Chain A
Amino acid sequence: MIEPLRHDVVIVGGGGAGLRAAIAAAEADPTLSIAIVSKVYPMRSHTVSAEGGAGGVVKPSDSFDEHVEDTVSGSDWLADQDAVEAFVAEAPRELLQLEHWGCPWSREPDGSVAVRPFGGMRKERTWFAADKTGFHLLHTVFQTSLRYRAITRYDEWFVTRLLVEDGRCRGVTAIDMRTGRLRAIAAGAVILATGGAGRVFPFTTNGAICTGDGMALAYRAGVPLKDMEFVQYHPTGLPGTGILITEAARGEGGILINRDGYRYLQDYGLGPPDPWPRLRAMELGPRDKLSQAFIHERQKGRTIDGPHGDVVHLDVRHLGERLIDEKIPFVRELSRKYVGIDPVHHPIPVRPVVHYMMGGVHTDIQGATPLPGLYAAGEVACVSINGANRLGSNSLPEILVFGARAGAAAGAYAREQRESRRGTLEAQERDEEHRLRSSFLEQKGGGERLAVLRDEMTRAMEAGCGIYRDEGSLRGAAGRLIGLRERFSRLRLDDRSGPYNTELTAALELDFMLDVAEAITHSALARTESRGSHQRTDFPRRDDGRFLKHSMAYRAPGLPRIEYLDVVITRWPPAERVYGG
Chain B
Amino acid sequence: MGAALTRMTTYRRPVPFAWWLRNRGYALFVVRELTSVFVGGYALVLLLLLRSLADGPDSYAAFLATLRAPAALIFHAVALAAAVYHSITWFRLAPMAVALRVGGRRVPGGLIVAANYAAWGALSVALAWLVLRG
Contacts and interface: CB of A to CB of B under 8 A. Distances in A.
A148 B1 contact: yes
A152 B8 contact: no
B6 A152 contact: no
A145 B3 contact: no
Give the bracket for the number of chain B residues in contact with chain A. Answer: under 10
A147 interface: yes
Interface string A165-192: 0000000000010110100000000000
A482 interface: no
B25 interface: no
Interface in B1-30: 1-4, 6, 8-9
Contacts of B8: 178-179, 499
Contacts of A181: 6
A154 interface: yes
A353 to B, nearest CB: 35
Contacts of A157: 4
B1 A154 contact: no
A149 B3 CA distance: 10
Contacts of A155: 3-4
A151 B1 contact: yes
A155 B4 CA distance: 7
A130 B90 CA distance: 34
Contacts, number: 31
B3 A153 contact: yes
A153 B4 contact: yes
A179 B3 CA distance: 16
Nearest to A22: B1
Contacts of B3: 152-155
B5 to A, nearest CB: 8
A13 to B, nearest CB: 16
A319 interface: no
Contacts of A147: 1
B11 to A, nearest CB: 11
Contacts of B6: 176, 178-179, 181
Contacts of A152: 1-4
A155 to B, nearest CB: 6
A149 B4 contact: no
A181 B4 CA distance: 13
A515 to B, nearest CB: 28
A578 interface: no
A451 interface: no
B1 A145 contact: yes
A146 interface: yes
Nearest to B4: A154
A59 to B, nearest CB: 25
A145 B2 CA distance: 11
Nearest to B2: A152
Contacts of A176: 4, 6
B9 to A, nearest CB: 8
B19 to A, nearest CB: 27
A178 B1 CA distance: 20
Nearest to A36: B1
Residue with the greatest number of chain A CB neighbours at <10 A, chosen from B1, B3, B9:
B1
A149 B2 CA distance: 7
Contacts of A154: 3-4
Contacts of B4: 152-155, 157, 176
B125 to A, nearest CB: 41
Nearest to B8: A178
A154 B8 CA distance: 15
Contacts of A148: 1
Contact of B2 (A153, A179, A499): A153
Interface in A132-161: 145-155, 157
A178 B3 CA distance: 13
Residue with the greatest number of chain B CB neighbours at <10 A, chosen from A149, A157, A178:
A178
B12 to A, nearest CB: 16
Contacts of B9: 499
B117 to A, nearest CB: 29
Nearest to A499: B8
Contacts of A178: 6, 8
Contacts of A149: 1-2
A140 to B, nearest CB: 15
Interface in A101-153: 145-153
A108 B9 CA distance: 52
Contacts of B1: 145-153
A439 to B, nearest CB: 24
27 contacts: A146-B1, A147-B1, A148-B1, A149-B1, A149-B2, A150-B1, A151-B1, A151-B2, A152-B2, A152-B3, A152-B4, A153-B1, A153-B2, A153-B3, A153-B4, A154-B3, A154-B4, A155-B3, A155-B4, A157-B4, A176-B6, A178-B6, A178-B8, A179-B6, A179-B8, A499-B8, A499-B9
Given A147-B1, A179-B6, 6 more contacts: A148-B1, A149-B1, A151-B2, A157-B4, A178-B6, A178-B8
Q: Ordered nearest first, which 5 A-B pairs have the shortest CB separation?
A: A153-B3, A178-B8, A151-B1, A152-B2, A154-B4
